[in-house]
Amino acid sequence: MRALVLAGGFGTRIRPLTVNIPKPLLPLVNRPILEHIVRLLARHGFSEITMLLYYQPDVIKNFFGDGTEWGVKIDYFIPTRDLGTAGAVKAVHKLISEEKFLIISGDLLTDFDLEDMVKYHKKKGSFVTIGLTRVDNPLQFG
C-alpha cells in the first residue's frame, strides 16, 4: 500500500529552527521526525511512499534517497509552485494509480496502529477515514 507524506511546509511557526533545515528533518530522539514516520509506515506494511515536498526538497531527498535503507520505495513530488496541502494532494493523486492510500503529515510523531486504521477503513467501506487525537486546546497545533 502507498502512503503520501506531506513534507513541504515552511515550518514558519518554529523559526529560526527551520531556516536551514526543513521541519520534517528536525531531530527528535536522535533521528529526524520524518525518519520516525518512514519507520512507522514500513512497520505497518506501507511499501511505497510518495513524499510531497516544496521547502528545501533536496535536503529531504538527499537524506532518504530511494528508501532502500528503510526497506521501502520512496519517490518524490515537487511542484513548481506552492500548492498548499490540498493542492499538492490533488496534483499527486492524478499521478498515482492506487485507489486507496494513506496521507500522513511529515512532522507528526505518532504511534497510531496504521494497520488497524486501514482494516477499519476497509471494514466500513468508507470513502475517507481520518485518524485523530483529542487534545485540550487544538489551537496550539495549527
> pLDDT digits over 48-73, tens only?
999 999 889 999 999 999 999 999 99
Residue 33: pLDDT band (50, 70, 90) is very high
pTM to 2 decimals?
0.88
Q: Is the pLDDT of residue 18 over 90?
A: no
Whether domain 2-111 has CATH 3.90.550.10: the reply is yes
Residue 8: the pLDDT is 80
Q: Is the pLDDT of residue 20 over 90?
A: no
Burial 17-50 (b: 16+ CB within 10 A, else e): ebeebbbbbeeeeeebbbbbbbebbbebebebbb
> pLDDT digits over 103-127, tens only?
999 988 888 899 999 999 999 998 8
